C-alpha cells in the first residue's frame, strides 16, 4: 500500500479508531486534535493537535483544510505537504536536515515561551538563504528525530 493520498475527506469523530483509513482526515473536536495517515502512503499515523500555536482547521461545510503544512520529520518518509482547501494534498519541498533542525528549534522556542501569536506567513519557508546558517554537525539532531508526539 504505497498509494499517495490526493485528497482527504473530513470525518468528525469522538475518539480515534484503532486503525485509520487512508484519505480520511479524522477530526476530534472534543480532543481538539486531527489525525490522518501520511499522504505519501507509508501508512504512518500523523496526529495534528489543533491550537493557536499548533494547527488550525478550516471546515467549509464539506471539506477541511489544515494550516500550516504538515512536516513528518519524525517519519522515515519525511513527507512535507499541505492539506489545502478542499482537503487537497499539495506537496511541499522536503526540508534538509538542517532546515528541519532549525524549524524544530523554532517550534521549541515558541512552545517554551507559550507564544500564541506566531503567524505562518513564512511557513513553509519558501526561500532559504544558505548563507545565514551556522555550520553544525548533523549528528546532534538525531535524538530529536523519531520521537513523534513529543508535545
Specify the stretch interacting with Zn ion by CB under 5 A; choose among 42-50, 92-100, 123-131, 141-149.
42-50
Cell output for 111: 512552545
Q: Which is nearer to Zn ion, 52 or 146 (CB)?
A: 146
Q: Cβ 94 to Zn ion, closest distance in Å?
A: 11
Q: Does 47 bind Zn ion (CB under 5 A)?
A: no
Binding Zn ion (rule: CB under 5 A), the pick from 13, 22, 42, 96 is: 42
Q: Which of 74, 2, 11 is nearest to 39 (CA)?
A: 2
Binding Zn ion (rule: CB under 5 A), the pick from 47, 50, 77, 141 is: 77
Q: Which SS3 state, helix, strand or coil, does residue 22 take? A: coil
Q: Does 128 bind Zn ion (CB under 5 A)?
A: no
Rounded to whole angstroms, how far apart are CA atoms 100 and 133?
13
What is the sign of the dihedral through the CA atoms of 88, 57, 74 and 80?
A: positive
Amino acid at each position: 500500500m504505497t498509494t499517495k493520498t490526493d485528497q482527504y475527506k473530513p470525518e468528525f469523530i469522538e475518539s480515534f479508531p484503532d486503525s485509520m483509513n487512508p484519505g480520511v482526515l479524522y477530526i476530534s473536536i472534543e480532543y481538539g486534535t486531527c489525525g490522518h495517515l501520511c499522504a505519501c502512503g507509508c501508512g504512518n499515523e500523523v496526529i495534528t493537535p489543533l491550537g493557536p500555536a499548533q494547527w488550525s482547521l478550516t471546515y467549509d461545510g464539506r471539506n477541511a483544510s489544515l494550516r500550516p503544512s504538515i512536516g513528518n520529520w519524525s517519519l522515515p518518509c519525511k513527507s512535507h505537504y499541505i492539506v489545502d482547501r478542499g482537503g487537497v494534498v499539495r506537496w511541499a519541498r522536503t526540508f534538509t536536515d538542517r532546515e528541519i533542525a532549525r524549524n524544530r528549534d523554532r517550534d521549541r522556542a515558541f512552545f517554551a515561551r507559550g507564544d500564541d501569536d506566531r503567524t505562518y506567513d513564512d511557513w513553509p519557508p519558501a526561500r532559504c538563504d544558505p548563507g545565514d546558517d551556522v555550520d553544525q554537525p548533523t549528528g546532534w539532531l538525531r535524538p530529536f528525530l523519531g520521537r513523534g508526539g513529543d508535545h
